[in-house]
Structure 1
Amino acid sequence: MKFTKMQGIGNDYVYVNCFEETVKDPAAVARYVSDRHFGIGSDGLILIKPSDIADCEMDMYNLDGSQGAMCGNGIRCVAKYVYDYGIVKKENISVSTKSGIKYLDLTVRDGKVALVRVNMGSPVLTASQIPVVSSTEEMINAPLKVNGETYYITAVSMGNPHAIVYMTDVDHLDIGEIGPYFENHMAFPDRVNTEFVEVLDDHTLKMRVWERGSGETLACGTGACAVAVASILNGHVDGEKPVTVKLLGGDLEIFWDRQENLVYMTGPAATVFDGEIDLSFLE
C-alpha cells in the first residue's frame, strides 16, 4: 500500500489515495500503521476517496481502529494532498465527511498548499445531539463528577463530541490519568474528546486534548473550534475577533461568525514523507 505521512501542527495521520489504492480492512490497517514502534506511527488513518457530492471524501480512523466523523487538522492535510498531488487543482474545494460537506480555502505558495481555512460548520450545543446525558438542554459551565471530583464542563459538538474544562495550569496536568475517565464517562454515550483549557488573555487560549480512541494528541482541530465557541459562551474571550488557540503542536486561528453561526479554522498542513508498506499479512 502506498501512503503519505502528513501532519497539521503535530496531529499526524497516514493518508492513502483511494483514487488509486483499495484498503480492505481500514480498522485493522489503522491499528497497524498507527503503532509508533511496529508501524509507521500516527494518530490514525485517513482515506482520501472519490465522492459523488464533493471534490473528494475523507474517511478517517483513530489509532484504535474506531471510525471518526471529522478531524480539523486532518481535513487541512486532505486539502493539501488533493491539490499538491493534482487530484483537485482548485483553491476552493469541498470535502465530504461523516459530519457533512466541509468547504476549504487554500493558500498556495510556490505551487504548494501552505495554509488552509476550513468552514467547520455550525457548533452543536443541544445536549442530546452532541450527545451528552444532561437534565438541561445545554451544558454550559455545568458540574460533572469525574473520578470523585467535580469539574465544570461546557459540551460542544463540531462533528465530534467535546467536553471543555477550564483550569489555571494545563502544563502540569496529568492528562494520562484523568483523560480516560472523561472519555469513558457514562454521561457521554459515544465517548468524548476532552479539552483542558487555560485562558491566557481575551483572545488567546492554551489547551491540551485527550481524544477518544487516540489519547493525548499534539493538536485537535475540532477541539480548538469547540474551545473557542465554549470560551465565547463563557465570556473568557472577545467573540468579535479571531481567537488564537495554542496547542502542543502549534497555533490555530478560530473565528466564530455569530451572524452566520459558522466556525472558521485556519492553520498549516505539511507533508512529512511518502512511502509504501506491505500489508499482505493482514489479509
Structure 2
Amino acid sequence: MRVPFIKMHGLGNDFIMLDARVDAVPSIDKQIASALADRNTGIGCDQLILLEKSQLADFKMRIYNSDGGEVEACGNASRAVALLHGSAASVETNGGLITVTPTDNGARVDMGVPSFDWQSIPLEYAMDTANLPLSWEELTNPIAVNVGNPHIIFFVDDSETIGLDRLGPLIENDPLFPEGINVNVADVRNGAINLRVWERGVGLTKACGTGACATAVAAIKGGLVTSPVKVHLPGGTLDIQWADGQPIIMEGPATESFRGTFEWDDFA
C-alpha cells in the first residue's frame, strides 16, 4: 500500500510525519522506522513522527528516532505538529501531555513541568542531579533534568571546542543511564546560551528542542541566565521561558519541506 507522508523540520532537525488520524498507517516497528529514516536508502530524517487519535488529548504524537527506537518527547517536532495541525491543541506523548499553538513565526509549545528527581531521569542510583559528581574527560559536574525525555547538561567555556561526536555516544550509553540520555554542551554569553546536542538514538543534530528546554532550565535554575532566554543552536534560535514550579514555554519556527508517498512494503 502507498502511504502519504509530510517532510518537515524545525531549525534543521527534520521529520517524516505520518498522519494516522487521516490515513490508515500499518503498525510501525524499529526496523521500518530506521529504514525510512535512512538518508541513503529511505526518505531520511532525524525522527519519524506518527500522529494518532487519543482519548486523553486532541491527538497523540509518537516519536521514533533514526535508530528506530521510540522515545518520549521531541520539542522541534512539537512545533512542526502545531504547524501541521493548524490550531491550538493538546497532544498526548509518551512523556506526558503538552499543548501546542501555531504563531505567526512558527509555534509556541507548553512542554510541561521539568523534573529533577534522579528516578525520573532515570539514573542507575541516587545522586544530586543539580551537581552530578561525574566527568568524561574535560566534561565535568553536569546537571540532569527530564523535560519529557532525559538530558544531561555540561556548561563549558566554549561549546564549539568539545568533541561531542566522540564523547556523546560514550555518555549516552554509560551504564549510569539505563534508558540512555541526551547530551548537551553549552556556554553562556551576553545573557544567551550557545548549545550543541548529541541526541540519544540520533547523534549530532542541527537543533534539539527538548535539549534547549533542558539547558535553559538548568541555566536559569543555576543563576547563569534569566528567563526568558535565547538558546542558539547550529540550526537557529529558540526562545525559552521558565520559572521554578512552572511549565517550560518554548517558541520557535517550523517549516514544511515537501509531501509525497512511499510503498510500505519497500521498507517493511
Q: Give the alignment's TM-score, normalised by structure 2.
A: 0.94
1:252: which partner in 2? 238
Q: How many percent of aligned residue pairs carry the same amino acid?
A: 38
Structure 1 runs of 4+ with >6 Å offset: none
- Among 93, 98, 102, the alignment partner of 1:97 is 93
Work out the CA distance in 1 between the residues paired with 2:138 and 2:177: 17
Superposed CA deviations along residues 203-261 of structure 1, whole A, max 9, x for unmatched, are x00000001100111111111110011011222112xx301000111100000033x52
Query: Over aligned residue pairs, what C-alpha RMSD do you find?
Result: 1.5
Work out the CA distance in 2 between the residues paired with 1:264 and 1:254: 6
Matched, 1:11 2:13: yes
Contact 1:76 1:118 (C-alpha < 8 Å) held by counterparts: yes
Work out the CA distance in 1 between the residues paired with 2:216 and 2:95: 19
- Among 61, 64, 68, the alignment partner of 1:61 is 64
Q: Give the alignment's TM-score, normalised by structure 1.
A: 0.89
| CA positional deviation for 1:26 | 3.7
Work out the CA distance in 2 between the residues paired with 1:26 and 1:48: 15
Superposed CA deviations along residues 69-128 of structure 1, whole A, max 9, x for unmatched, are 010000111111122xxxxxxx321111111111122215xxxxx421111111100111
Superposed CA deviations along residues 174-213 of structure 1, whole A, max 9, x for unmatched, are 21111011101121111000100011123x0000000110
Letter in 2 for 1:117: R
Work out the CA distance in 1 between the residues paired with 2:88 and 2:223: 33
| Counterpart mapping for 1:1-283 below 5 A | 1-19=3-21, 20-83=23-86, 91-108=87-104, 114-136=105-127, 138-146=128-136, 151-202=140-191, 204-238=192-226, 241-258=227-244, 260-283=245-268
Query: Which structure 2 segments of 5+ residues have no match?
Result: none
Work out the CA distance in 2 between the residues paired with 1:237 and 1:262: 17
Question: Could you say what secondary structure the match of 2:57 adopts?
Answer: coil
Query: Which structure 1 segments of 5+ residues have no match?
Result: 84-90, 109-113
| CA positional deviation for 1:38 | 1.2
Work out the CA distance in 2 between the residues paired with 1:52 and 1:234: 38
Work out the CA distance in 2 between the residues paired with 1:79 and 1:73: 10
Distance of aligned partners of 1:282 and 1:33 in 2 relative to their CA distance in 1, 3 Å threshold: closer
Distance of aligned partners of 1:60 and 1:190 in 2 relative to their CA distance in 1, 3 Å threshold: same
Contact 2:36 2:267 (C-alpha < 8 Å) held by counterparts: no
Letter in 1 for 2:230: T
Work out the CA distance in 1 between the residues paired with 2:41 and 2:162: 29
Superposed CA deviations along residues 142-190 of structure 1, whole A, max 9, x for unmatched, are 22133x5661100000011100001111223221111011101121111
Contact 2:147 2:210 (C-alpha < 8 Å) held by counterparts: yes
Superposed CA deviations along residues 24-48 of structure 1, whole A, max 9, x for unmatched, are 2342222112111111111021001
Letter in 1 for 2:216: A
Distance of aligned partners of 1:134 and 1:197 in 2 relative to their CA distance in 1, 3 Å threshold: farther
Work out the CA distance in 1 between the residues paired with 2:6 and 2:28: 18
Contact 1:31 1:44 (C-alpha < 8 Å) held by counterparts: no
Letter in 2 for 1:237: V
| CA positional deviation for 1:135 | 3.9
1:88: which partner in 2? none
Work out the CA distance in 1 between the residues paired with 2:256 and 2:238: 18
Work out the CA distance in 1 between the residues paired with 2:80 and 2:143: 28
